[in-house]
Every structure is written in C-alpha cells, then in structure tokens.
C-alpha cells in the first residue's frame, strides 16, 4: 500500500524513544566526594542545549510553542511553522549526518530513525531525541513534556499542555448533545481516496466531537489508512467531507463536486465540504486544537437527521 507522504507522519508508530546521551553520570564516586567536601562545589546540572536542529515539522512546532525557538538553529525543509523558522534544505525523509553536523548541533530532534541517523549522530557525540508519530493525544502531551525537559523549558511545556487540555475541553463541551445518529464523515488524504480511520490519531480527533467515520468498515487490513473506492463513498454518502489535500493537490469544494457522481453527495449539495489546512491536519503538535475547533464548528451546523 502506497500512502501519501503527508500521511506517513501519522501512521501508527512505536512509543516515543528518548535517546539523549547522558552527561556527567560516570559512576566514579565524584559526586559523593564533592557533596561531603564543603570546599568543593557539586557538579552543575546538565546545561540546556544551545544549538538544536529539528528534522520534522511537528517537533519544530512543539519547540517554538514551549519557548525553545531561540535555541533552534536549523529545521528541515518541511518545517514551515511558525513563521521565521530557520528553514534549510535538510531532509527528515533522507537525513544526511554530515549535512546535519555542519550546523554544529548539541541536540537533534527527529521523528524517524531513517538510515540509522541516530547512531551516526551519536558517533559524533551529538545528542538526539526521537519522537515518533503520536497515536493518542496523551502521546502529544508526553512529547511536549519531554521536549520541555530536554531543552530547559519544563514549566512552559506544562503550560502548553494544560492550555491544550483546557481548550479541548471547552470545544467539546460547547457542542450540543445529539439524540439522533451521529453525523458521518470522510477525511481525504489525497485524490486516490486514501483516508484515516477512527483508530488513527486523526480519527481520534474527529471522535472527540462525536463523528462517525465512514472508512472504519473498509479497513480490511487494519492499517488505519485504507484506500476507498468512489463507489463505496457514494454509497456511504457522508454528512461531512474534510479535505486534507488542499495545498498539496489543489482540492476544494468545486473539484470535489466535479468528480463523477460526487455532486449527488449530501455533503456537496448542502455545502459541507470542508477545506482543511494540510499541515494542521497532518501534524500532532499544539495546532491539533485548531483542527478540532474547525471540525467542531462544522459539526455544530449539521442538522439532525
């Protein structure tokens, strides 16, 4: 199965792995001697990194959100938010150890260990922090806190997490209760009709506002990212269509309506084709709150069936 590159970042991944190399932890009894000698200062705490390289858009957004932006000296070619990030031609999909090391980082944050880049960097005494794609919101919160600890911004990271949780609670609690069947939706990753089920991170966001995913029954291999047929979608006739291929692929309400048979869909006829920002819809950082708010606003306008 060939998934669009944007979807690969959200495919189910192992739990986050912290690969920070330890400093000052040699078990030689030095700390004990220093503590017992009033004339000797204890070993200083590990210094926060001063030159961070981020090789993926979501960690980049997280770093800036927790106040570590000033420590970021370079980001990959896909990191485009927030405005003013020190974007380079570094690739997170095909990382080059030599090109990364040219930026003299003391910490590299990445989401995939492609080509054993972690080992290559650690061979150069460069610390790494591997934060795979989140599968739940709790993973997002945990990664923010890990970055806070790794960069010296623990308090700021906690504030970001608590702010996200408060915003999400406010959004979900503001929706009116429904006694009728839940509205259905289709989330489009690309024109080949790849989508995401309720078992994915994306699907869980939609689940927070009580939507039913029409793709769930079509996920025969349990990948979480099935490719649907046009016939299947026309038969399902979802109440809402969310397009996460607007920037990459030029899709919008008009192009959807022009597809054979799609003009008859309820979502098309009633103006409920929602054009998402591809980036916001494919990253698991703080802007998931923006995605949830957009989805919730649309759900609130769906009449009872």
- Per residue in 253-265, pLDDT (tens digit) is 999 999 999 999 9
Q: What is the DSSP letter of 115?
A: G
Q: What is the pLDDT of residues 129-157, one digit of tens each?
A: 999 999 999 999 999 999 999 999 999 99
Question: In this structure, are 102 and 244 located in the same domain?
Answer: no
Q: Angle at the Cα of 57 (from 52 to 14), degrees rounded to 5? A: 95
Task: Calculate mean pLDDT across residues 82-105.
Answer: 97
Domain count, the chain: 2
Range of the domain at 64: 5-22+49-164
* Crossing angle for the helix pair 137-151 and 57-65, to the nearest 10 degrees: 60
Please state, in angstroms and rounded to a whole number, the distance separating the CA atoms of residues 196 and 104.
38
Question: In this structure, are 97 and 207 located in the same domain?
Answer: no
Residue 61 pLDDT > 90, yes or no? yes
Q: What is the DSSP letter of 88?
A: -
173 in a structural domain = no
Residue 1 pLDDT > 60, yes or no? no
For residue 180, the model assigns a pLDDT of 78
Residue 11 pLDDT > 70, yes or no? no
Please state, in angstroms and rounded to a whole number, the distance separating the CA atoms of residues 261 and 263.
6
28 in a structural domain = no
Question: In this structure, are 14 and 131 located in the same domain?
Answer: yes
Question: In this structure, are 57 and 82 located in the same domain?
Answer: yes
Residue 34 pLDDT > 70, yes or no? no
Residue 130: which of 118, 115, 145 has the closest Cα? Answer: 118
Helix (H/G/I), strand (E/B), else coil: 65 = helix
DSSP notation for 198-243: TTSHHHHHHHTTT-EETTGGG-TT--S-PBPPHHHHHHH--SEEEE
227 in a structural domain = yes
For residue 178, the model assigns a pLDDT of 80
Please state, in angstroms and rounded to a whole number, the distance separating the CA atoms of residues 205 and 73.
32
Token pair for residue 14?
A: 């192992």
Question: In this structure, are 247 and 119 located in the same domain?
Answer: no
- The pLDDT-based confidence of 47 (bands split at 50, 70, 90) is confident
Residue 67: which of 166, 157, 158, 167 has the closest Cα? Answer: 157
- The pLDDT-based confidence of 49 (bands split at 50, 70, 90) is very high
Using CB atoms within 10 A of its CB, is residue 93 exposed (0-12), middle (13-18) or buried (19+)?
middle
Question: In this structure, are 187 and 243 located in the same domain?
Answer: yes
Question: In this structure, are 16 and 144 located in the same domain?
Answer: yes
Please state, in angstroms and rounded to a whole number, the distance separating the CA atoms of residues 165 and 73.
30
Please state, in angstroms and rounded to a whole number, the distance separating the CA atoms of residues 82 and 115.
28
Q: Angle at the Cα of 12 (from 6 to 17), degrees rounded to 5? A: 105
74 in a structural domain = yes
Question: In this structure, are 14 and 144 located in the same domain?
Answer: yes
Question: In this structure, are 68 and 195 located in the same domain?
Answer: no
Q: What is the pLDDT of residues 278-297, one digit of tens each?
A: 999 999 999 999 999 999 99
Residue 12 pLDDT > 70, yes or no? no
pTM: 0.84
For residue 177, the model assigns a pLDDT of 84
Question: In this structure, are 11 and 142 located in the same domain?
Answer: yes
Residue 65: which of 132, 164, 193, 138 has the closest Cα? Answer: 164
169 in a structural domain = no
Question: In this structure, are 10 and 98 located in the same domain?
Answer: yes
Task: Calculate mean pLDDT across residues 219-238.
Answer: 96
| Under 8 Å between Cβ of 268 and 253 | yes
261 in a structural domain = yes
Question: In this structure, are 123 and 207 located in the same domain?
Answer: no
Q: What's 152's domain CATH number?
A: 3.40.50.1980
């Amino acid at each position: 199965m060939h998934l669009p590159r944007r979807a690969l970042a959200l495919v189910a991944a192992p739990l986050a792995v912290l690969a920070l190399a330890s400093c000052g932890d040699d078990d030689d009894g030095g700390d004990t001697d220093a503590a017992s000698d009033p004339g000797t200062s204890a070993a200083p705490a590990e210094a926060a990194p001063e030159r961070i390289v981020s090789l993926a858009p979501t960690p980049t957004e997280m770093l800036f959100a927790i106040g570590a932006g000033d420590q970021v000296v370079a980001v990959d070619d896909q990191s485009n938010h927030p405005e003013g990030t020190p974007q380079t031609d570094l690739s997170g999909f095909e990382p080059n150890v030599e090109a990364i090391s040219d930026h003299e980082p003391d910490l590299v944050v990445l989401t995939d260990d492609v080509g054993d880049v972690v080992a290559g960097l650690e061979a150069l005494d460069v610390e790494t922090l591997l934060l795979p794609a989140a599968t739940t919101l709790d993973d997002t919160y945990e990664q923010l806190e890990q970055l806070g600890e790794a960069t010296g911004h623990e308090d700021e990271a906690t504030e970001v997490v608590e702010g996200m949780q408060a915003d999400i609670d406010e959004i979900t609690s503001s929706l009116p209760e429904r006694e009728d069947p839940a509205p259905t939706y289709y989330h489009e990753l690309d024109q080949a009709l790849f989508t995401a089920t309720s078992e994915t991170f994306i699907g869980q966001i939609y689940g927070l506002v009580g939507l039913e995913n029409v793709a769930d029954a079509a996920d025969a291999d349990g990948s979480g990212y099935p490719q649907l047929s046009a016939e299947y979608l026309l038969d399902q006739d979802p109440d809402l269509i969310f397009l996460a291929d607007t920037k990459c692929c030029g899709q919008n309400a008009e192009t959807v309506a022009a597809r054979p048979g799609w003009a008859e869909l309820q979502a098309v006829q009633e103006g409920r084709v929602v054009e998402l920002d591809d980036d916001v819809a494919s990253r698991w950082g703080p802007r998931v709150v923006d995605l949830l708010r957009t989805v919730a606003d649309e759900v609130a306008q769906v009449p009872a069936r």
